[in-house]
A and B are shown apart, each in its own frame.
Chain A
Amino acid sequence: MRPLPENKLDPRVKNVWRINDGIWITLVCGLVVGMVQLLRLLSAHSDLVGALTLAGGVAWVVLMVLWLVVLPPIRYVRWRYQITDDYLDIARGIVWRKRFVIPFIRVQNTDTRQGPILRLFGLASVTVSTAAGRHEIPGLDAAEADVLRDKAAELARIAREDV
């Protein structure tokens, strides 16, 4: 059995996930409840509308607990990566566990990205692209991400551009 990669993400990434997922869940639930409220204006089924609103609220609480309390630590534990001299090794996934090996000689470009939430925590994500898709390492310390990107870019320079 192949040993798991050594490095973990920055622990602060859990909070980034929480904020990010919290915003999404609230938005979707808010939208659904808003639509239901709109229905109230149009029709007289107020008891149905009330029930739907309640269901939306319960769904919101359940989803929030799941994505804000339960999942982030598990996801964090399961997300590992390692950069060796010539390949990138990623292990992730809770139920469907995936283990990637991305040779640097196939990497065509690497970049770092920093959205507003990541910036708030001083984090950045590194994206590694091959001719057949991208692989993202979310949530590294910004300085560390720059080092990683430069290292990956350095190694990727030997990649053949032609596919």
Chain B
Amino acid sequence: MGTQPHDTAWEAAGRDSSEAATSPAGHNAADSAAAPQAPATYPVTYRTGESHQVHHSYIWLGPLTATLAVLAAAVGYNVSTRIQLDRFLEEQGMAAPLTMVLVGLAGFVAIYIIVTLVYVLAWRNMRYVFDETEFSLYSGIITKRRVHVPYARVQSVNHRAGLVQRLFGVCSVSIDTAGGAANKAVRVPFVTLEHAERIRSDLFVRKAATMADCPDKVVYVDPAVLMQENGTLPAGMFDTQAHRTQAPASPDELARQRAAGQAQPNVLDDAASQVASWRGAFGGGVAGMEPVQFEQGLTNKELLLTATTSSGIEVAVVTLVLMGVATGIFATAFDPSWAMGLGAFATLAFTAGIVLFGLVAGCIAIVLSYGNFRVRRRGSRVEVERGLLQRVFTGIDLDRIQTVEVRQSFVRRCLGYCEVSLGRINTNAENSGQNKNQGLSQTGLVVHPFLRVEQAEPFVRELLPELAGMPEMAQLQPLPQVALRRGIVRNCIWRNAMLWIALAYAAVQIFLHALPLLVGSIPEIGSVLYAVDSLGLVYYIFAVAYTVVRAVSTVLWQRGSGHALNRGYVALFNDGLRTSFTVVPRAKVQSGYTRTNPFQRMSDVTTLVATTAAGAGHTSYRLWDVTESQGAQWLAWLEPRR
């Protein structure tokens, strides 16, 4: 960190202010890399070179999910072959239900035992070691694997615990590493919460020691002692409430925090604190970590609206409306008799019921996944914890933030709310084991799912004070007037799939109508044509509505969109019915280009594209139709400064 050349104001500013912000952190070594003077020692809770096994719940809890999956498949199969089975049992003269239960149970136990045996072997062969310079995970029953993580490469240490895991106080730890474009995550499955926190703390302490070039100053401290010293500080996963219940804050203090907007509560927070305070059967104590500089949660209203305005809900509502209209038209068009109409409406009611059920279930799932949402700033990292049942803890180092994105879906735009997320590079789980995609993080770390648009900038400023020079909305350079015409043509004609389908359909329609003229009269063609025409009419109405929506979106896009370049950042804003405002720090722009097609060259406009390493592989952010001179400015901005 310190030794590599920095070329941006952002990073320089980042170091300055994180020094200022974290200097009172005392002997918390993880941010002492940024502190003015190196501390005397770096306390760690794992002895160097000592190997540790993961928690024994790996053996008996791990196989459970695998067995349940097998069982579910078996039940599905049984149901499908049930008739034969019943007949067979009848022939044998057995009491069918009892036998089936017994057979099922025996099957379950047998599978469980077999899977457990494999897990025992896997567990015996799995161990993690903190060496002088790297963290290693050994695994593999027949093929031995050893995954190394040099401490300097550790980027974030994330936790994830499913419901059952939470009951027993264990979780999976995934260590994200960074080395150029190849990002890997090492997953240590089934460790207790205490160990998870110690692993995280130790990794960052040892990273700090490595970065400060004094790995000899790493000293072993008994975790119990460290916990006593730092007992008053909240620590990582499930911490806030657990800490509160362990050392209850005074009501005054809580009231003050609430007044300051620091601990905005929601109904689920209380439930969550109950769940969280119970650290499970093996949870253990809380290890010490650096203090929190900024913390925010979600209020009741925000939590509820997060769920009801998520984009999945939008899609479901649109589907429902479309289905309703289509069914209504069909019911009257095809056979206006009452029986058919009733049938159609019954079908409609049934599908509507299913969609509504899906909607409600989706809302509940989102409420649960964002339940007890917490975003906080700790040292040089942004940490997000969320989930009422399945708990997810994710951190991202300040240096690893690729982009800051403020997005609005259609409904949120109408309400004036937005979602703030940080772009990051996806990582792939490296070590073997099930649930590989758990290590695969979704693009962007949502640091606030539902925030008033006006509050987005203050929120980002408070969460990431280092990003002070970020361009604001008011500083955007608007698009030229010609972008409106070009945008309408592009969005309503060229890129309007509905229009092209409509044209194809019209061609087919014309062909069918012309067919009798070509080959003479065809019996029964009248009803076919009627059906084709009425279906076409419905489709054309949708296509026109869709085109109008796109046109409206384009007008909004031309009025609001723009870009801004300043010393440290590029900001691209694409307005419309959905909006996205992306800020990329200069150091994270990997390359950039402008692109023109012949029509753009006629209008003297160009498309700007900024490429970052965010997401899987890379992500490009583009803005269509800026003027040619702005394009040239963009290319000049990309050249490194001396």
Contacts and interface: CB of A to CB of B under 8 A. Distances in A.
Judge: A and B partners, yes or no. Answer: yes
Contacts of A161: 4, 179-180
Interface stretch (A6-14, A26-34, A67-75, A102-110): A102-110
A132 to B, nearest CB: 3
Interface stretch (B18-26, B161-169, B297-305, B612-620): B612-620
A86 B639 CA distance: 7
Interface in B626-641: 628-629, 631-632, 635-636, 638-640
Interface string B568-606: 000000000000000000011111111111100100000
A163 interface: yes
A35 interface: no
Contacts of B597: 95-97
A99 B595 CA distance: 6
Contact residues of B: prevailing secondary structure: mixed
A131 B617 CA distance: 8
B598 A105 contact: no
B425 interface: yes
Interface in B347-370: none
A98 B179 CA distance: 29
A133 B596 contact: no
Interface residues of B, number: 42
B640 A105 contact: yes
B588 A163 contact: yes
A163 B176 CA distance: 13
A100 B180 contact: no
A135 interface: yes
A87 B5 contact: no
A103 B5 CA distance: 14
Contacts of A108: 180-181
A132 B403 CA distance: 14
Contact of A163 (B181, B591, B617, B629): B181
A125 interface: no
B113 to A, nearest CB: 46
Nearest to B425: A163
Contact of B590 (A1, A93, A95, A130): A130
B594 A98 contact: yes
B598 to A, nearest CB: 6
A18 B337 CA distance: 68
B613 A131 contact: yes
B178 interface: yes
A84 B595 CA distance: 21
Interface string B402-415: 10000000000000
Given A96-B597, A100-B592, A160-B5, A131 B635 contact: no
Contact of A132 (B595, B618, B628): B618
A129 interface: yes
A1 B632 contact: yes
A47 interface: no
A97 B595 contact: yes
Contact of A130 (B178, B591, B594): B591
Contacts of B617: 132-133
B181 to A, nearest CB: 4
Contacts of B425: 131, 163
A53 to B, nearest CB: 29
B399 interface: yes
A32 B608 CA distance: 40
Given A132-B619, A160-B4, 14 more contacts: A86-B639, A86-B642, A87-B640, A99-B594, A100-B591, A102-B590, A106-B589, A131-B618, A133-B591, A133-B617, A135-B591, A158-B5, A160-B587, A162-B178
7 contacts: A1-B629, A101-B592, A101-B635, A133-B611, A162-B399, A162-B400, A163-B181
Interface of A: 1-2, 84, 86-87, 93, 95-106, 108, 129-133, 135, 158, 160-163
Interface of B: 1, 4-7, 178-181, 399-400, 402, 425, 587-598, 601, 611-613, 617-619, 628-629, 631-632, 635-636, 638-640, 642
In the A-B complex, the 6 residue pairs with the closest CB atoms: A132-B618, A132-B590, A131-B613, A101-B638, A130-B590, A102-B591
